[in-house]
Amino acid sequence: MKSHHDLIRLEQVNLHFGRNHVLQNIDMALHKGCITTLIGPNGAGKTTLVKVVLGLTKPSSGNVWREEGLRIGYMPQKLQIDRTFPLTVKRFLQTTQCRDKNLILKALSDVGAETLLQESIHNLSGGEMQRVLLARALLRDPNLLVLDEPVQGVDINGQLELYALIARIRDQRNCGVLMISHDLHLVMSSTDHVICMNHHICCSGHPEHVSNDPSFVDLFGQRGAEQLALYSHHHNHRHNAHGDVVQQECNHG
């Protein structure tokens, strides 16, 4: 982790939907220049937690502290734009109330999508759409990027490219990043901090630690966890993650 300049802090956040206790005693902080990845099974409350961070959903109890002047760039999980809505990438980016063509071009070239400016939003591939959404988030000159499954609908190579791109953006802008991901093994090399959650935070810490944490193994099954750990081993020879005794960082909620 590069610094501990907090952008946002959640303290003992709880959220109930009727009888469902969706978020249970969540404590977390997002730091400047740090990529935090949220993983967990389907229905674990990841998107709900992101909505609390964004201020779209109010927690039932607990505190959410935001740094003054915090600008969040948000990339939603998917955009369902009706095909009857004629929209080019350029016009789509203009609806952020950013009319400056140079800024729009800059944001598009930052994500490697400058050729798409005049393209219809309906003709984009999955990967192109994700890049355009990312460009839109960058247009707000954010100090925190919140990305809900940024690699959804993208093939494996494209996913790795996108994660590398997100890491590069963090390096250039020194902004904080919070993203939801399904596969820890792909995101591993480009994240600083992993939070593994299933309504409560099961474990958190460096990706290597999390992949060996017993509660992570519980959550994803022995085989899945082994695959993830093996993958990380394969990718990072300096660390011997597989089979080693790992320092426990588990805070069961």
Partner 1 sequence: MADFLLLALLGGLGVAAIAGPLGSFVVWRRMAYFGDTLAHSALLGVSLGFLFDINLNVAVIACCVLLAITLVALQRQHIVATDTLLGIMAHSSLSLGLVAIALIDDIRVDLMAYLFGDLLAVTPEDLYWIYGGALLVAALLYKLWEPLLAITINEELAQVEGVRVTAVRLVLMLLIAVIIAVAMKIVGILLISSLLIIPAAAARRLANTPEQMAIGAGVLGCLAVTLGLGLSYQWDTPAGPSVVVVAMMEFLILYSWPQRQAA
Among 76, 158, 224, 253, binds partner 1 (CB under 8 A): 76
Binding mask 142-161 for partner 1 (x = CB under 8 A): ----x---------------
Cross-strand bridge partners of residue 194: 37, 205
Q: What SS3 class is residue 109?
A: helix
Q: How far is the CB of 51 from partner 1 (least distance, A)?
A: 8
Which helix H or strand E contains 46, and what residues bound it? helix 46-54
Q: Is position 81 an interface residue for partner 1 (rule: CB under 8 A)?
A: yes
Q: Is position 96 an interface residue for partner 1 (rule: CB under 8 A)?
A: yes
Q: Where are the beta strands (DSSP E) in the chain?
A: 6-17, 20-31, 35-39, 61-66, 72-75, 144-147, 176-180, 193-198, 200-205
Kindly state the tokens that stand for 20.
Answer: 């469902």
Are 194 and 210 in contact, with CB atoms under 8 Å apart? yes
Cα dihedral across residues 192, 196, 201, 204: positive or negative: negative
Binding mask 98-137 for partner 1 (x = CB under 8 A): ----------------------xxx-------------x-
**Shorter beta-carbon distance to partner 1: residue 80 or 222:** 80
Q: Is position 69 an interface residue for partner 1 (rule: CB under 8 A)?
A: no
Q: How far is the CB of 80 from partner 1 (least distance, A)?
A: 8
- Footprint on this chain of partner 1 (rule: CB under 8 A): 51, 54-56, 72, 74, 76, 79-82, 84-88, 91-92, 94-97, 120-122, 136, 140, 146
